[in-house]
């Protein structure tokens, strides 16, 4: 057992049998009364975010989660198959665990898989990925000005908004956290 002074961003806490990731924390020492630690926690499995306050020095169960680099191989029914880059062992990760990351994953792409007692908890994608646009309406003459956007389908099947001048077959950089267009990529 650790104390509240050991809490930091990214720590995984085991509270009442559920795993919570610390998004942010703040140590508060009011002028009157005892100090406390205010935290914002995200449930690792459901993604629910809650605020929780601990008394300073209280005991908390900080859990060790193994994060390893894996390569995405293919989708098999409702599971995604990943291979450990060091041991070449393959694991099946359920679609519910992969979640939104599936919108940005291509075969043979490297990601980080977080494991707790051998079972996958979540997938960590790089902050941005480069994907090709497989379909978008052609831009019209005069659409080259700033401001307008149009829908475009990526090679993963996910749809994003891109500027009017972006054409089909263009490689673009996409933010994996929000799904936003970040720019064109010149090869």
- Domain 66-124 CATH superfamily: Nucleic acid-binding proteins (2.40.50.140)
CA distance 3 to 1: 7
Average pLDDT over residues 1-11: 85
The secondary structure of the chain, three-state, reads: CEEHHHCCCCCEEEECCEEEEEEEEEEECCCCCCCEEEEEEEECCCCCEEEEEEECCCEECEECCEEEEEEEEEEECCEEEEEECCCCCEEEEEHHHHHHHHHCCCCCCEEEEEEECCEEEEEECCCEEEEEEEEECCCCCCCCCCCCEEEEEECCCCEEEEECCCCCCCEEEEECCCCCEEEECCC
Please answer whether residues 45 and 58 qualify as being in contact, where contact means their C-beta atoms are separated by less than 8 angstroms. no
List pLDDT tens digits, range 83-108: 999 999 999 999 888 888 899 999 99
pTM passes above 0.95: no
Give the mean pLDDT of 148-174: 91
Predicted confidence at residue 113, as pLDDT, reads 92
Average pLDDT across the chain, whole number: 88
- Per-residue confidence (pLDDT) for residue 164, from 0 to 100: 84
The domain locations on the chain are: 2-63, 66-124, 128-184
Residue 17: pLDDT band (50, 70, 90) is confident
pLDDT average, residue stretch 27-33:
88
- The CATH label, of 3.40.250.10, 1.10.3300.10, 3.40.1710.10, 2.30.30.30, for the domain at 2-63 is 2.30.30.30
Question: pLDDT exceeding 70 applies to what percent of the chain?
Answer: 95
The confidence score (pLDDT) of residue 128 equals 93
Banded pLDDT at 163 (limits 50, 70, 90) = confident
CA atoms lying within 13 Å on the CB side of residue 97: 20
Is 128-184 in the same CATH topology as 66-124? yes
pLDDT score for 131: 94
Domain 128-184 architecture: Beta Barrel (2.40)
CA 146 from centre of chain? 30
Name, in order, each residue with C-beta under 8 angstroms of 25's C-beta and a sequence gap of 6 or more: 7, 8, 9, 37, 38, 39, 40
The residue-averaged pLDDT of 135-145 equals 70
């Amino acid at each position: 057992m650790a104390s509240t002074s050991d809490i930091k961003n990214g720590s995984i806490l085991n509270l009442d049998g559920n795993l919570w990731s610390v998004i942010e924390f703040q140590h508060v020492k009011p002028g009157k009364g005892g100090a406390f630690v205010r935290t914002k926690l995200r449930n690792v499995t459901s993604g629910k975010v809650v605020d929780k306050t601990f008394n300073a020095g209280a005991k908390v169960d900080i859990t060790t989660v193994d994060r390893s680099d894996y390569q995405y191989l293919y989708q098999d029914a409702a599971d995604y198959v990943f291979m450990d880059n060091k041991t070449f062992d393959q694991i099946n990760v359920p679609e519910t665990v992969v979640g939104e990351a599936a919108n940005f994953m291509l075969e043979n792409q490297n990601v980080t898989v977080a494991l707790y007692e051998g079972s996958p908890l979540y997938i960590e994608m790089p902050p941005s990925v480069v994907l090709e646009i497989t379909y978008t309406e052609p831009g019209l003459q005069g659409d080259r000005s700033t401001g307008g956007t149009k829908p475009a389908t990526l090679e993963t099947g996910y749809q994003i908004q891109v500027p009017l001048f972006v054409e089909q077959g263009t490689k673009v950089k996409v933010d994996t956290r929000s799904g936003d267009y970040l720019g064109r990529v010149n090869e």
